[in-house]
Amino acid sequence: MNNRIREFRARYNLTQDDLALKVGVRRETIVFLEKGKYNPSLKLAHDISVVFNVKIEEIFLFDDPAPST
């Protein structure tokens, strides 16, 4: 799974510290998220998408195709 957190952070002119404070995690967690070394919980992914005012799937990009229904 990839993500566009860095891109959105730059767009909203937020530092890693700012984003960490807004979503209630440590700065290291944002660093690990941006490097792709950690996959967030659904709650954290939701909080990040709320900060950037977009849908979760616009920030977090899944490599695998969606399961067929």
Q: Candidates 12, 35, 46, 54: give the one binding other proteins (CB under 8 A).
A: 35
By beta-carbon proximity to other proteins, the closer residue of 28 and 57 is 28
CA 29 to chain centre: 10
Asked if residues 16 and 31 have their Cβ atoms less than 8 Å apart, the reply is yes
> At its nearest, how many Å lie between other proteins and the CB of residue 10?
21
Is residue 38 near other proteins by the rule CB under 8 A? yes
Task: Write the CB contacts of 1 (distance below 8 Å, at least 6 apart in sequence).
Answer: 36, 39, 60, 61, 62, 63
Binding site for other proteins (CB under 8 A): 1, 17, 20-21, 24-29, 32, 35-41, 43-44
